[in-house]
Amino acid sequence: MRFILRRLGFYLIAFWASITLNFLLPRFMPGDPVSRMFARSQDRMQPEQIEALRKLLGVDDRPLWEQYIDYLHNIFTGQMGVSISRFPTPVTEVISSQIGWTLLLGGTALVIAAVAGNLLGILAAWRRGGAVDSVLPPVLVFIGSFPYFWLAMGALYLFGVVLGWFPIRHAFTAGLEPGFTWEFIGDVGAHLVLPALTIVLVSIGGWMLGMRNTMIATNSEDYITMAEAKGLRPSRIMLRYAARNAMLPSVTSFGMGLGFVVGGALLTEVVFAYPGVGYQLLNAVQGLDYPLMQGLFLTITAAVLLANFLVDILYVRLDPRVRSN
Amino acid sequence: MTTVILQQPGKAAGKTTAARKPNRSFVHGLLSNKKALTGMAVMLVFIALALLAPVLFPGDPSRITAMASLEPSPEHWLGTTAKGQDVLALTVHGSRSSLFVGLTVGFASTFIGILVGLASAYFGKFIDEALSLVTNVFLLLPGLPLLVILAAFLPPGLGTVILVLVVTGWAGSARVLRSQALSIRSKDFVAAAVVSGEGAGRIMFREILPNMASIVMGTLLACVIYGIGAQAGLEFLGLGDVSTVSWGNNLFWAGNEGALLTGSWWVFVPSGVCIALVAFALALINYAVDEVTNPRLRKIKTPKDTERIATK
């Protein structure tokens, strides 16, 4: 319990830090980005909306601490202002319409990569020097060396443009009515294949090598020799004795991976014009849409912190050593 | 190195030889490791290309020299872009900015990591708590979105790219180096140095740091890989300085000019392959460092090898 509370405290501090960063950035950056934004979009906005945005982004003459308290108050009551590029939709509405797509894409890719990568790692460590162990790691490390977005572009070109097997942009065919019909779900699935596949391709090597290296350390433990001496089936020793104990680092990576899901899918989303938060973040940056940018960054951070906290709770269940300390 | 020690037999006290020995076998192990040799060879080729770029392709590489979108031919080995620039010249010149940024980011983040890690381990207590907290917060903040936000607020330019990459990249190296420094901090020879009244700086940099050289090297390589990849990503998103020639910017322009949709694959392939080759070469050296310092990861000798050794 103390462990959980300590972690919770840490995540709260981290979240506070990101809010403060968000508060300070537009106020201290050179070049006055906020005025630039206003110059661009003044004619479309009501005077009171401009006033609210000025407060949010710090273009007013009140003392800094007063602005800061106001800012914190706004964040915790969910007032993130109005999006400029999608005027006049509130920022919270824009974000909630898009976070689902990111979670779908990132979640699918993460689960596939983690499960397949760990299984391959277990196999590689169990048969040291076998086919899986000698061929796959270098190949996967080589694939992992390519820039993420470059592989995505390659896949897009090859399977989308040349072969035409998969759709090349967006999350579903335009004009199709979203809903729980087989047609729509199938369409979403088809749009998901290429982006998810490229993420899996790049990230699977890390999972595999991590698992392999921990497994190799676990395999030399005494209880493995003991299990072998008892004459247990090799598959049972491999999965129940060795892999089970080598899983812990992978659980931690899974937490880190979740952060990557929300934030790191950005490049993939951009290449495939996938309507998730990453794609929206880039659009916000290009459109000088500072309220949306800030809202997206805070949402992404909050999601990452929450995911890590959940993994910590899971960790307490899995590792008795954490509970006793 | 052997000759140096032989020439000064009096000076080679127990401590120096003990400190030198693992180092020498480390360099030797690295030089006899196939992965390390391959990686270093590839890196040398790229460094040579980057240095020789103005000689090989004199003049501004982004000037228009030929017809647009030409396929690879004897005059233009890698074809031309949609603007009519020579792709080979762009790629070779691109290595300069990409390697420069990658190396600068790598060295700067490793340097910060060393400072933070050593200070954490040496001073402990409150300083350690505070530094670890900052490190962990930076580790947890989602890197790519933070990169994008920072790049959006700062004026565009090479300096911004480097600054932003260091800000998001140092925390990982700090954490690794701190845990290693902590384990060395608890060794007897550090306690001996403290008792004998050596200063904090001397203990950190002369006693602890040399004993974690291989970890520092691994961290440095990982940071350079991160720097090159993240720079390419930022520039691909159009958040770098689009007027410079680099691999990331080449890819940005390829995307911008619709090279893929028109089928000009030769515009987009070379820069990506170059990034991958450099990253792979550095990763190879990194794995080799791991293998040399961690005996458990070394290849098991097949029965044939053992026989050969036995007959010798």
Mark yes or no for CB contact B141/A25 under 8 Å.
no
Q: Which residues pair with residue A82 across a beta bridge?
A: A90
Mark yes or no for CB contact A157/B265 under 8 Å.
yes
DSSP class per residue in B154-220: SPPSHHHHHHHHHHHHHHHHHHHHHHHHHHHHTSHHHHHHHHTT--HHHIIIIIIGGGGHHHHHHHH
Shortest distance between the Cα of B100 and any Cα of chain A, in A, equals 18
List, for residues A273-308, the tens digit of each pLDDT value.
Answer: 888 888 888 888 887 777 888 888 888 888 888 888
pLDDT of amino acid A227 = 87
Is A147 an interface residue toward B (CB < 8 Å)?
A: yes
Q: How many CB atoms lie within 10 A of CB A230?
A: 8
User: What count of residues does chain B have?
Assistant: 312
Closest of B140, B135, B94, B136 to residue B112, by C-alpha: B135
Name residues whose C-beta falls within 8 Å of residue A90's C-beta, 6 or more positions apart in sequence: A80, A81, A82, A83
Lowest mean pLDDT among A88-92, A197-201, A206-210, B195-199: A88-92
Burial annotation B66-83 (CB, 10 A radius, 16+ → b, else e): beebbeeeeebebbbbbe
User: What integer is the mean pLDDT of A197-226?
Assistant: 85
Q: What is the pTM of this model?
A: 0.80
Cross-chain CB nearest to B155 (options A30, A270, A301): A30
Instruction: Give ipTM to 2 decimals.
Output: 0.77
pLDDT of amino acid B102 = 92
CA distance A95 to B22: 55
Helices A277-286/A290-318 angle, 10° precision: 150
Q: How far is CA A273 from CA A102, A171, A267, B147, in A?
A: 12, 8, 10, 20
Number of H helices, E strands in chain A: 16, 0
Is A278 an interface residue toward B (CB < 8 Å)?
A: yes
Q: Which residues of chain B have pLDDT under 70?
A: 1-24, 69, 295-312
Among B149, B179, B226, B266, most A C-beta atoms within 10 A, so best to mutate, is: B149
Q: Does residue B8 or residue A84 have the better pLDDT?
A: A84
Q: What average pLDDT is seen over chain A?
A: 80
CB A278 within 8 A of CB A102: yes
Which of residues 171 through 190 in chain A touch B, CB cutoff 8 A?
Answer: none
Q: Does residue A175 or residue B241 have the better pLDDT?
A: B241
Q: Does residue B225 or residue A324 have the better pLDDT?
A: B225
pLDDT of amino acid B13 = 38
Q: Does residue A78 or residue B6 have the better pLDDT?
A: A78
List, for residues A234-244, the tens digit of each pLDDT value.
Answer: 888 888 888 88
Mark yes or no for CB contact A129/B154 under 8 Å.
no
Q: For residue A259, which residues of chain B lie inside 8 Å, CB to CB?
A: 140, 142
Q: Does residue A58 or residue A4 have the better pLDDT?
A: A4
Token pair recorded at residue A76: 């915790």
